[in-house]
Every structure is written in C-alpha cells, then in structure tokens.
Amino acid sequence: METVRIGGTDGTKVGGNFYEQVGGKATFAKLSSEFYKGVASDNLLRPMYPEGDLAPAAERLQLFLEQYWGGPTTYQELRGHPRLRMRHSPYKINPAARDRWLFHMRAAVDTLGLPPLKEAELWAYLERAAISMLNTFED
C-alpha cells in the first residue's frame, strides 16, 4: 500500500513515516557516517570496535536506525532481532562512554539540518537509547 502524500501550503510534501519525512536512506547513511568519523579518533569508544575498519559498524547502525524509524527491515533480515542490550553487554558502557557516544551522535545529528521537531524526536530517542545501554557505573 502506497503512502498518500498531501502537498503542504509551501509546496513541500507531508505524510509518510518518520523515515520518509527526514529523507530516508540518505539521512541515516549520513548520520551513521558522521557519527563514526567522531568515534574513529575517540580513545574511549574506538576500542569497543574491534574491526580495523569502522564501515561495518556504520552500516549496522544505519540499517538499525532505518528499520527503527520505519524504513526497510534489512537489519532484522541480516542480523535478527536487534537485542541492543545483549549485543552491547560485552562492552563496559558507563556514564563516560554514554556521554562520549552522545557527544559524537549530537555532532552527527547537527549535520543533518532536520526540521526542529524531527530533530527533537530523533534526539530524544538517541538519548533514551544511550541511557538504556548503561551496564556499569564503574570507571
């Protein structure tokens, strides 16, 4: 079933889900790419990615976010249920790691130029997700 779109008064299209409203694949690809640019040089987060190349991690993040926000279900088809806490449990995610993750994610979100309400909705989710990944309060 195709989503019906109604033109806004300024000529923009409205309707669709969040994924479509923010630009679809291109937006989430940029978000993931920009995020991992920050992670690449972060001495706290980088060791959590054992792969020499961060591209696979960026792709996983992109696919997860696309699926979460109403895009293709490729993440689940390739990797199964997200099980975010389980997948992150081998890593020490303390408040410092959460804050660094949010720092780089904030910089990435800022590159997207989203409308304020869409940016706020995305950011609220990312903050909740970061908090939910905490698994220790030890340094």
Tell me which of 1.10.490.10, 2.40.37.10, 3.40.220.10, 2.40.110.10 is the CATH number of domain 19-132.
Answer: 1.10.490.10
How confident is residue 4, by pLDDT bands cut at 50, 70 and 90? very low
Is 112 in contact with 22 (CB distance < 8 Å)? yes
pLDDT tens for 54-102 read: 999 999 999 999 999 999 999 898 887 777 767 777 889 999 999 999 9
**Rounded mean pLDDT, 32-42:** 97
Are residues 18 and 70 in contact, defined by beta-carbon separation less than 8 angstroms?
A: yes
Cα distance between residue 126 and residue 122, in whole Å: 6
**CB–CB of 135/110 below 8 Å?**
no
